Amino acid sequence: MFKEDLLEKSEKLQFKILKKIYLNNGRIAKYELCNTFNISPPTLKSHIEKIDFLLKDNYHNKVQITYSKNDIILKYENYINLEQLMSSCIKKSLKYKLLRYLFENSNNLSSGIKICNELNISLSTLNRKIFECNCLLKEFDINIKNYRLEGSQSQIYYFFYSLFIVTGTVSTNSNFLFNKLINFFNKKFKISFNIKQKYSLYVWTTIINNRKFFFKKEFFNNNFYKDNIKKLNNNVFFLELKTFFEKNYFNKNIGEYISFMTICFILSFDLFPIDFIFNNIEFKNNMAFKTYKLIFNQINELYISPTNNFNNTLKCNLLSICYKQYFFKGILYSNDYITTNHYLSEFSSYSRKKFVENLLLKIHNSTTNYHIDDEYFKFCVILTLNYINGNTKYPINIGVLSQSENLTLSSTINDLNNALRKKFDVIVEIYDENKKRYDLVITNFNINFKCLVNNCDNIYFFTNLGIKYDLENIIKLLDKIEEKK
């Protein structure tokens, strides 16, 4: 699920159009937008007018969207925060208002008429929005029935936590439990938090306060919860956390379940230092940690030497992904659909996609009891590989043979190397005719000089305008070269 799915269909399309223009450096051809979103020019014009109205309403005249003969142009003076703009629109959407109402009134019986009065809508509109929400909630194994949220309580906590985090729609009012919990972690375990982690804990304690009456044995009675809670029975952190919750307004009957769910969220959302997790053996005694070790080892095997930037931040991210898929079902992406696809397109290559496919196959073959969202996993691992950007066992060697001056050529090679390393492990250098072999030689020499280059498998002739104008073709060629390596 993407957060823009909470918007009306037309609003969702308008944000996709706006994001596409923004990611294209603020200028894009009309025909490209029509082809991408399968809409007619008049329909595009109508949506652009609505986008322009939205921008003026939020940014006055500091941001505007204009037409040229063939293009649509986004102009802004300083900056434009599309995430904030989307969150503002989501908060006004009926689907969000309905979900928020059901969350905040979970302890009260609601009727259709009461909800209609609260949201100022008709009963037919309410039923339509319930249907639309249930379509979105299906992947989270929860639904709205008889005007109440139904399903696993842990899934309900997880969905609303994800919703509030990605939309930034939780107000930062005083939260007694949050302050006490921060102090507890700091004094008892010497753990401090950055701003992002504090906000995550704030959202989680908001959910605890709202749904504390649902932390009951009857909601944690299946074998998965029983087995995982049993593994923590001798864990010092779990026992101390349980004591903390029992002392702070929660009785002994529910302290255990709040503590367990808090640990689930700590592990799934990267809230603790990785060393603290590694030092708690009980946190590692599950399929999530075994999957993390498999991923970690497979990534390390890609490179010929240890990579300096495969740091604790990346390890924490990978570990939290594994825990999240272990404890919960469903994904609410933090990025919108257009941005997610942009990242995938920007950083994917044949070898990276093949690596992820093989990795997923190993994970699926290792267990049948571990649900994993393949598309989300693919996205996260490809971004990780892009960040690591180390030297693999099979780099692509590229020689650049150019008629440009050496100073210009060095700048060209530097630009090309930076652009290509987003996708590939490449070694780009000035062409050396004495080198044993190149996978690719890129040149702007006259084609008749081809016979002089005899130590390469592929030659690409670029224009005198510069290699960057041929980048798309070079990337396609490198994908084919990778496939054969």
What does the pLDDT average to over 261-274? Answer: 90
Shared-domain flag, residues 291 and 381? yes
44 in any annotated domain: yes
Cβ density class 69-101: b for 16+ within 10 Å, e for less: eebbebeeeeebebbebbbbbbeebbbbbbbbb
Phi and psi at residue 61, in whole multiples of 5°? -100, 10
Question: Highest mean pLDDT range out of 126-140, 293-307, 339-353?
Answer: 126-140
Same domain, 302 and 370: yes
**The model's pTM:** 0.84
Give residue 131's pLDDT: 96
Q: Look at residues 307, 305, 292 and name the one whose alpha carbon lies nearest to residue 380.
A: 292
The CATH number of whichever domain residue 33 belongs to comes to: 1.10.10.10
Identify the domain boundary among 243, 261, 278: 278
Residue 338 pLDDT > 60, yes or no? yes
Q: How far apart are CA 422 and CA 349, in angstroms?
A: 9
Mean pLDDT of all residues in 130-148: 94
Answer with the one of 262, 278, 294 that is the final residue of a domain. 278
Q: How many CB atoms lie within 10 A of CB 173?
A: 7
What CATH number does the domain containing 111 carry? 1.10.10
Q: Cα 103 from chain centroid?
A: 24
Give the phi and the psi of residue 203 in degrees, each rounded to 5. -65, -45
Specify the pairing of strand 440-443 against strand 396-401. parallel
Residue at 221 is within a domain = yes
The residue type of 321 is I
Q: What is the pLDDT of residues 169-205, one digit of tens each?
A: 776 666 788 889 999 999 999 888 888 888 899 999 9
- The answer to whether residues 33 and 75 belong to one domain is yes
- Predicted pLDDT at 356: 92
Same domain, 472 and 380: no
Domain of 9? Answer: 3-83
Shared domain check, 117 and 66: no
DSSP class of residue 192? Answer: -
One DSSP character per residue, 38-97 reads T--HHHHHHHHHHHHHHHHHHHTTSEEEEE-SSEEEEEESS---HHHHHHHHHHHSHHHH
The residue among 53, 83, 113 that closes a domain is: 83
Based on the structure, what is the number of domains in the chain?
Answer: 5
Q: What region does 251 belong to: left with phi over 0, alpha with psi -120 to 50, or beta?
A: beta
Q: Which residues contact 190 (CB under 8 A, 6 or more apart)?
A: none
How do residues 42-81 score in pLDDT, each as one tens digit?
999 999 999 988 888 888 778 888 888 888 988 887 777 8
Quote the CA–CA distance of 160 and 203 in Å, as a whole number: 9
> Are 67 and 21 part of one and the same domain?
yes
User: Within this chain, do residues 67 and 145 fall inside the same structural domain, yes or no?
Assistant: no
Helix (H), strand (E) at residue 387: helix 374-388
79 and 43 in one domain? yes
Q: For residue 465, is pLDDT > 60?
A: no
73 found inside a domain: yes
φ, ψ for residue 400, nearest 5 deg: -110, 115
Give the lowest-confidence range in 87-101, 352-366, 382-396, 449-463.
449-463
The whole-number pLDDT of residue 162 equals 93
Residues 271-293 have pLDDT tens digits of 888 888 888 877 888 888 889 99
Residues 379 and 346 in one domain: yes
Could you report the per-residue pLDDT of 94-136, keeping only the tens digit for each? 999 999 999 888 777 778 889 999 999 999 999 999 999 999 9
Counted residue by residue, the chain has a size of 485
pLDDT over 70 percentage in the chain? 93
pLDDT band, very low/low/confident/very high, at 14 (cuts 50, 70, 90): very high
- pLDDT confidence tier of residue 265, bands split at 50, 70 and 90: very high
Is-contact 267 277, C-beta < 8 A?
Answer: yes
pLDDT in tens, 387-401: 886 778 788 888 888
Q: Are residues 429 and 476 in the same domain?
A: yes
Q: Are residues 263 and 291 in the same domain?
A: no
Question: Which has the higher per-residue pLDDT, 449 or 311?
Answer: 311
SS3 percent helix, strand, coil of the chain, rounded to 5, is: 65, 10, 25
Q: Do residues 42 and 129 both lie within one domain? A: no
Rounded to the nearest integer, the mean pLDDT of the chain is 85
Q: Is 171 inside any structural domain?
A: no
Residue 134 φ then ψ, to 5°: -65, -30
How much is the pLDDT for 453? 66
